[in-house]
Structure 1
Amino acid sequence: MKNLKNSGIEWLGEIPEHWEVVKIKHIFNIGRGRVISQEELDENGNFPVYSSQTTNNGILGYIKTYDFDCEQITWTTDGVNAGTIFLRNGKYNCTNVCGILKPRNNENMSFLTYALQNVTPYYKRPDTNGAKIMNNEMANIQIVYPPLKEQEQIANFLDEKCEKIQNFIEKKEKLLSLLQEQKQALINETITKGLDKNVKLKNSGIEWLGEIPEHWEVRKLKMLFSFGNGLNITKADFISFGIPCISYGEIHSKYPCRLDLSVHKLPFVSETYLNDKPQSLLSKGDFVFADTSEDIEGSGNFTCIQSNIPLFAGYHTIILRPKTQIYSLYFSFLFDSIFVRNQIREKVWGVKVFSITKSILKEVQCFIPPLKEQEQIANFLDEKCEKIDSLITKIKKQIELIKEYKTTLINEAVCGRINN
């Protein structure tokens, strides 16, 4: 067992007594990427441009030239992904939201990458767009610094373990994708063809849809719903107690498709809106669409109100209230189908933010079975999708737990608390 000493850093704890704690500026030269415009990106380019995003290994696109041809560590300086650490090598470019760490001497870059990944969460400072770790702040970040031989041993140990963890995660994510595709295919098929496989079909009159059951109707949403707007407020209007309020953020990230206040939690707004903006108050069976999305896939995201508890629609929302008797759960599945989603996605506009208007929603065409059949289809899909959702939740939990284990493993290893 190694002899340990206090590192002098509260959240780091004890480290082997022969290890050092050093500041980044003592082992790296610190730089930053450059502004790379959209015009520079070229589909025929050979050299990646790394940016602040974390998907696709952080690659924004490709260009025909390169700024770097060496092994360096990069970090995201600001935004929601601030402090994200990558080890880069080969020929590549970095945008100006990437800080760059170039070693001054012979270093084990793999170990130092793990060490930085372990500490940057503690150094991020809040910012209006997420967080920041700028160059001067990175310079004074402290990391553990064992002898080079031990750095190599720890890096090799973590490389092997993390590769196995990543393989596990990738397999689980592939299974997740297959289950989500299975669920979507089930919804799409049932919503357009119904449950009776022997039913007579007719041409829907919609080119991309094809045939639907003969007795179903095709109607636009403006014939079925009245439309309204949510409250014109900001986050600053939220208070500790009052009337719950659903805004576009919760629709996108927390409560898509259904919202039940007996289970789900929301921020509050003042009860004065009951008198000032009663038209933004929601009832059971109402639908609330987010009117903006950061990507095309989120265009058409909505939630359906499942409880009778007083509730307001908040900022960046569009309210749909049934004008005729419908089975709301059926429409929840219908709105989540690819056929409704695609109609919305074809009409939304924007570049960085995609906007939906009431005019777009009003023209969306829907296929309407009789009320009793709406209920049967909804109940069938609810039962089937609940089983799929249960599997999806279980797999997501497994991924979450293995990621937590990976974080703990890296922490213990880079602090010298594992005998490998």
Structure 2
Amino acid sequence: MKKFMQLLKNEKVEWKTLGEVCEIKRGKINAKYFNYKGDGKYPVYSSQTFNNGEVGRTNEYDYDGEYITYTTDGAYAGTVFIRQGKFSITRNCGLIYSRSNKLLNKFIGYWLSENTKKYLQGSKERPKLMSGIVSKIKIPIPSLKAQEKIVQILDKLSNLKNELNQKLKIELNSRIKQYEYYRDKLLSEEYLNKITYNLTHDTHTHTHTAKS
């Protein structure tokens, strides 16, 4: 929140609750009965964060455009995603979009990314972020020009973070493959037989030399 507020420094803002300026909804799909192995055209997002929150695909969609989704309960409750395109969400997922021409969806998404965790309720094992609470979250609304500038800055930072994570992932996979190669080589029958032969040969040679 401190970093976000720094970007708002010297900007005139109007504070509103999300309920005043946004539509807040829950998904329609019951995750319990969803076909996770479906080969559809459009993604279905749920409460997980792995694979960008996608739990499967379907040939139908409920939303088309730019929206904000957030996980409503479970270990990842309060995790926020900025979505674009055609998609659907399960009941474990909340959806937000601006009703005001003075508020950008991406601006909402970046603000919530830094703020939702402090609004979680329930136990530590099963935290929740319900629509009634989300509607009461206050958001600063600067001018559209300021919002666009802040979104551009945060887009660049997000892209840099994603690039770094991708490079780290590639490097990690490379290291894992390298480890697996040498592990398999060291444990191969050919290598073990060679080691056994060398040890046996060295022992016989040492014994023969000692007797001499």
Percent identity, please: 31
For the residue of structure 2 that corresponds to 1:198, the secondary structure is helix
Q: How many residues align?
A: 193
1:160-239 alignment runs, 5 A limit? 160-193=156-189, 198=194
Normalised TM-score (structure 2)? 0.79
For the residue of structure 2 that corresponds to 1:78, the secondary structure is coil
2:27 to 33, 47, 50: 33
2:30 equivalent to 1:23: no
Letter in 1 for 2:24: I
CA contact (8 A) 2:31 2:46 kept: no
Normalised TM-score (structure 1)? 0.42
Q: What corresponds to 2:58 in structure 1?
A: 63
For the residue of structure 2 that corresponds to 1:72, the secondary structure is strand
The separation in 2 between residues aligned to 1:169 and 1:187, in whole angstroms, is 26
The separation in 1 between residues aligned to 2:76 and 2:139, in whole angstroms, is 20
For the residue of structure 1 that corresponds to 2:187, the secondary structure is helix
The separation in 1 between residues aligned to 2:139 and 2:34, in whole angstroms, is 39
Q: What corresponds to 1:277 in structure 2?
A: none
Deviation, structure 1 residue 15: 4.8
**RMSD (Å) for aligned C-alpha atoms:** 2.8
2:152 to 129, 150, 156: 156
Q: What corresponds to 1:259 in structure 2?
A: none
Deviation, structure 1 residue 141: 1.2
More helix per residue: 1 or 2? 2
The separation in 2 between residues aligned to 1:71 and 1:84, in whole angstroms, is 17
CA contact (8 A) 2:11 2:142 kept: no
CA gap of 1:99–1:39, structure 2 versus 1, over 3 A, is closer
Deviation, structure 1 residue 42: 5.3
Runs of 4+ in 1 over 2 A off after TM superposition: 12-17, 36-44, 125-130, 184-189, 191-199
Letter in 2 for 1:22: K
2:106 equivalent to 1:110: yes
CA gap of 1:171–1:68, structure 2 versus 1, over 3 A, is same
Letter in 2 for 1:137: I
Deviation, structure 1 residue 157: 1.6
1:45-56 alignment runs, 5 A limit? 45-56=40-51
CA contact (8 A) 2:27 2:88 kept: yes
Letter in 2 for 1:81: Y
Which structure has more relative contact order (CA 8 Å, sep 6+)? It is 2
Deviation, structure 1 residue 40: 4.0
The separation in 1 between residues aligned to 2:33 and 2:175, in whole angstroms, is 36
Larger mean CA deviation between 50-59 and 37-46 belongs to 37-46
Deviation, structure 1 residue 186: 2.3
Q: What corresponds to 1:411 in structure 2?
A: none
Q: What corresponds to 2:131 in structure 1?
A: 135
Q: What corresponds to 1:74 in structure 2?
A: 69
Letter in 1 for 2:163: N
The separation in 2 between residues aligned to 1:57 and 1:33, in whole angstroms, is 16
CA gap of 1:68–1:77, structure 2 versus 1, over 3 A, is same
CA gap of 1:153–1:37, structure 2 versus 1, over 3 A, is same
CA contact (8 A) 1:79 1:129 kept: yes
Describe the superposition over 1:238-277 as per-residue Cα deviations: whole angstroms up to 9, x where unpaired: xxxxxxxxxxxxxxxxxxxxxxxxxxxxxxxxxxxxxxxx
The separation in 2 between residues aligned to 1:38 and 1:189, in whole angstroms, is 45
Letter in 1 for 2:185: E
For the residue of structure 2 that corresponds to 1:89, the secondary structure is strand
1:14-413 alignment runs, 5 A limit? 15-16=9-10, 18-34=12-28, 35-41=30-36, 43-106=38-101, 107-127=103-123, 129-193=125-189, 198=194
The separation in 2 between residues aligned to 1:118 and 1:168, in whole angstroms, is 20
* Structure 2, unpaired ranges of 5+: 198-212
The separation in 2 between residues aligned to 1:111 and 1:17, in whole angstroms, is 15
Describe the superposition over 1:333-383 as per-residue Cα deviations: whole angstroms up to 9, x where unpaired: xxxxxxxxxxxxxxxxxxxxxxxxxxxxxxxxxxxxxxxxxxxxxxxxxxx
Deviation, structure 1 residue 196: 5.3
CA gap of 1:32–1:39, structure 2 versus 1, over 3 A, is closer
The separation in 2 between residues aligned to 1:180 and 1:125, in whole angstroms, is 39
Letter in 2 for 1:28: C
For the residue of structure 1 that corresponds to 2:184, the secondary structure is helix
CA gap of 1:25–1:180, structure 2 versus 1, over 3 A, is same
CA contact (8 A) 1:41 1:63 kept: no
CA contact (8 A) 2:73 2:126 kept: yes
* Structure 1, unpaired ranges of 5+: 1-6, 200-212, 215-420
CA contact (8 A) 1:68 1:92 kept: yes
